[in-house]
Amino acid sequence: MKILVSGGAGYIGSHTVIQLVAVGHDVVIVDNFSNSRPTVLGRLEALTGTHLPVHAFDLRDYDKTEHLFASENFDAVIHFAGHKAVGESVEQPLEYYENNLVSTFSLVRAMQRHDVDKLVFSSSATVYGTDQAGATEDRPTSATNPYGWTKVMQEQVLRDIAHAEPRMRFALLRYFNPVGAHLSGTIGEDPSDTPNNLMPFIAQVAVGRREKLSVYGDDYDTPDGTCIRDYIHVEDLAAGHVAALEALGRTDEAVNVWNLGSGRGTSVLEMLHAFERAVGRELPYEIAPRRAGDVASSYADVSKTNRELGWSTQKSIDDMCADTWRWQSQNPQGYSS
Ligand code: NAD
Ligand code: WQD
Cα–Cα distance, 45 to 254 (Å, whole number)? 34
Q: What was the pLDDT predicted at 238? A: 98
Cα–Cα distance, 59 to 157 (Å, whole number)? 17
266-267 and 228-229 as β-strands: parallel, antiparallel, unpaired? antiparallel
How far, in whole angstroms, is CA 96 from its chain's centroid?
Answer: 16
Within 10 Å of residue 250's Cβ, how many Cβ atoms?
Answer: 8
Q: Whose CA is nearest to atom 34 of ligand 1?
A: 84
Amino acid identity of 44? L
For 112-155, how does the pLDDT look when each residue is reduced to its tens digit (9 = 90+)?
Answer: 999 999 999 999 999 999 999 999 999 999 999 999 999 999 99
CB 129, CB 32: distance < 8 Å: no
From 35, 84, 198, 295, mutation site for ligand 2 pocket: most ligand atoms within 8 A of C-beta: 198
Would you say residue 220 has pLDDT above 90? yes
Does residue 227 have its Cβ closer than 6 Å to ligand 2? yes
Q: What was the pLDDT predicted at 53? A: 98
Does residue 126 have its Cβ closer than 6 Å to ligand 2? yes
Would you say residue 51 has pLDDT above 90? yes
Mean pLDDT of 225-254: 98
Does residue 86 have its Cβ closer than 6 Å to ligand 2? yes
Mean pLDDT of 77-89: 97
DSSP 8-state class, residue 250: T
Q: How confident is the model at residue 251 (pLDDT cuts 50, 70, 90)?
A: very high
**Burial state string for 267-298 with b = 16 or more CB within 10 A and e = fewer than 16:** bbbbbbebbbebbeeebebeeeeeeeebbbbb
Does residue 270 have its Cβ closer than 6 Å to ligand 2? no
Closest residue by Cα to residue 35 from 269, 260, 166, 195:
195
319 CA from centroid of ligand 2 (Å):
19
219 CA from centroid of ligand 1 (Å):
32
Mean pLDDT of 108-115: 98
Would you say residue 32 has pLDDT above 90? yes
Q: Whose CA is nearest to atom 34 of ligand 2?
A: 227
Would you say residue 337 has pLDDT above 90? no
**What does the mean pLDDT of the chain come to?**
97
Does residue 186 have its Cβ closer than 6 Å to ligand 1? no
- Is the pTM above the cut of 0.85? yes
For 181-202, how does the pLDDT look when each residue is reduced to its tens digit (9 = 90+)?
Answer: 999 999 999 999 899 999 999 9
Closest ligand 2 atom number to CA of residue 288: 30
Q: What was the pLDDT predicted at 149? A: 98
Percentage, residues of the chain above pLDDT 90: 99
Mean pLDDT of 276-296: 97
Mean pLDDT of 227-255: 98
Q: What was the pLDDT predicted at 239? A: 98
